[in-house]
A and B are shown apart, each in its own frame.
Chain A
Amino acid sequence: MSETQNSAWSPSSREIQRRQSRRAISRKQAGIAAASSIVVLGTLALILVTSPGWETVKATFFDVQYGKEVFPTVIKGLWINLQLTFIGGAAIGVIALGLALLRTTKSPALTPFRFLATAYVDIFRGAPLILIILLVGFGVPALGLKGVSSNVIFLGTVAVVLTYSAYVAEVIRSGILSIHPSQRAAARSLGLTSGQTMRFVVLPQAIRRVVPPLLNDFVSLLKDTGLVSILGVTDAVRAAQINASRTFNYTPYVVAAILFLLITIPMTRYTDRAIRQRTSAQNSEGAI
């Protein structure tokens, strides 16, 4: 609309002059930023490579040749982490949604389940993940139960799912509680049952609102799958450990760290952008 109004408009000489000034200012600022960056980063790099221990550090942590050598085994391990993240993530989503709904329901028939869900969240959110992994990974096979898998990848996934379901359930629940009661009143006054109100009005808005924190948890999940290495699962962390302990060269750890960063940094950037978009969208939502 504004474009059609603007089509006949050309900037005044005053505005043209102002634009030139603004361009000059930003050119100057870019120059200052570049010079400052070169000086600071250059000095840091110089200090690093001229420091007495640098050669040892380079050989122990940044051995490019050795890094290339271990790369295939580490990346094969990373594939395990990714599988664990996506399969576990799907299970976490389903279980967490169920827990969040149970914790927010007022239905009298579900009262015992509401208590159980609260107890579950309290326990698994409060206990260290590594303890849960040890308990499930080593404890469950020790029971010798028939029909229960003793596959460490499976048990490791179960442990991670147990803990993360509790975290994610709380995030979803906070989203549900953040929806203004007037939305519920409007839905109920249209004759929707409380279940329909949750499904068609509250939950869709709540989930949208918690997408950024959920993405955050997803990044943490990927990193925390590295903890299942303590069960002997040959994931990226374990693969690096095996190589490092064989040669006393720690480059494999650095390779694993870089591989994780290559996935998590774009994910966190994306999360930041999602949060920004969410915030600006909410601002335009005004009185809702």
Chain B
Amino acid sequence: MSNVLELVNVRKSFDAELVLNDLSLAVPEHTATVLIGASGSGKSTLLRCINLLETIDDGQIFLDGAEISDPLINVDDVRRRLGMVFQSFNLFPHKTVLENITLSPIKVHGKSKDEANSAATALLQRFDLADKADQYPDRLSGGQQQRVAIIRSLAVNPRLLLLDEVTSALDPVLVNEVLSAVRDLKSDGMTMVLATHEMGFATQVADEVCFLESGSIVERGTAEQVLHNPQNTKTQEFLKRVHEAGRL
């Protein structure tokens, strides 16, 4: 099993604040790596670095064995192979659901409009959103918007899908419809890196769970190991706080 993504000793700071500290991670094909940790522990920054939305200060990032942290690499070319879903959806408000999904396939991947439309329609049907194709994002509920955002990132057949706290902006009922969409992708064999606060969900999809604390992975392993039998005291403290907040 080859690694789709590999991070070696990645370091990133914003001004004086060290956000990622000597962080290494490998994501084999068809697996889901779940990042957990308190807000500010570096989960989102890690995802943004993988997507080259941020430039790392040291270390290396490899996508399918090729170094993408090389400044000479074509960033658009890298991003073409990655899908990213944001906490706040970031749908384009001036485009319909269908246009949101087909923009990149048509403009970036050179698909014909018919081809892109029929692929998008198939995805919308699969995620129960076929009737929303011609609506504007504003008209949709948060859960529907986030599922459209997921479809938008899927429409380019990404090699790796990055999901950044995709349910944090949603109420508990809507969380479930989004999570079930992500579970579907997992069973399709999509390679994923997710940051989440949903521990139950992490247990269901994670092949590996990484607990981040101050920019370092302090504990990693299967969901069973990290979430139910943590060895590190910091992990234990974090999970205790999550448990007290009723999120486990």
Contact = CB atoms under 8 A, between A and B. Distances in A.
A191 B104 contact: yes
Interface stretch (B75-83, B126-134, B203-211, B226-234): B75-83
Nearest to B75: A188
Contact of B79 (A182, A188, A205, A286): A188
Contact of A186 (B76, B90, B107, B108): B90
A91 interface: no
Interface string A90-118: 00000000000000000000000000000
Nearest to B48: A185
A208 interface: yes
A201 interface: yes
Contacts of B92: 183, 186-187, 201, 205
Nearest to A188: B79
Contact of A192 (B84, B93, B108, B138): B108
Contact of B108 (A183, A196, A285, A287): A196
Contact of B169 (A188, A204, A287): A287
Given A201-B92, A205-B94, A285-B93, A191 B86 contact: no
A29 interface: no
A186 B94 contact: no
A190 B153 CA distance: 7
A21 interface: no
A182 B88 contact: yes
Contact of A284 (B79, B138, B169): B138
Most buried by A among B53, B92, B138, B156: B92
A185 B79 CA distance: 11
Interface in B148-201: 152-153, 156, 169
A190 B108 contact: yes
Contact of B103 (A190, A285, A286): A190
Interface residues of A, number: 22
A189 to B, nearest CB: 4
Contacts of B103: 187, 190, 192, 200-201
Contacts of B152: 190
B79 A204 contact: no
Interface in B56-96: 76-77, 79-80, 82-84, 86, 88, 90-94
A46 interface: no
Contacts of B33: none
Nearest to A284: B138
A186 B146 CA distance: 13
Contacts of A188: 53, 76, 79
A191 B93 contact: no
Interface in B7-55: 51, 53
Nearest to B53: A185
B86 A186 contact: yes
Contacts of B138: 284-286, 288
B51 A189 contact: yes
Interface of B: 51, 53, 76-77, 79-80, 82-84, 86, 88, 90-94, 103-104, 107-109, 138, 152-153, 156, 169
25 contacts: A182-B86, A183-B90, A183-B92, A185-B53, A187-B103, A189-B83, A189-B84, A190-B104, A190-B108, A190-B152, A190-B153, A191-B76, A191-B77, A191-B79, A191-B80, A192-B103, A192-B107, A192-B108, A193-B76, A196-B107, A196-B108, A200-B103, A200-B107, A285-B138, A286-B138
Given A186-B90, A193-B76, A201-B103, 20 more contacts: A185-B53, A185-B90, A186-B91, A186-B92, A188-B79, A189-B51, A189-B53, A189-B84, A190-B103, A191-B76, A191-B80, A191-B104, A191-B108, A191-B109, A196-B107, A284-B138, A285-B93, A285-B138, A287-B169, A288-B138
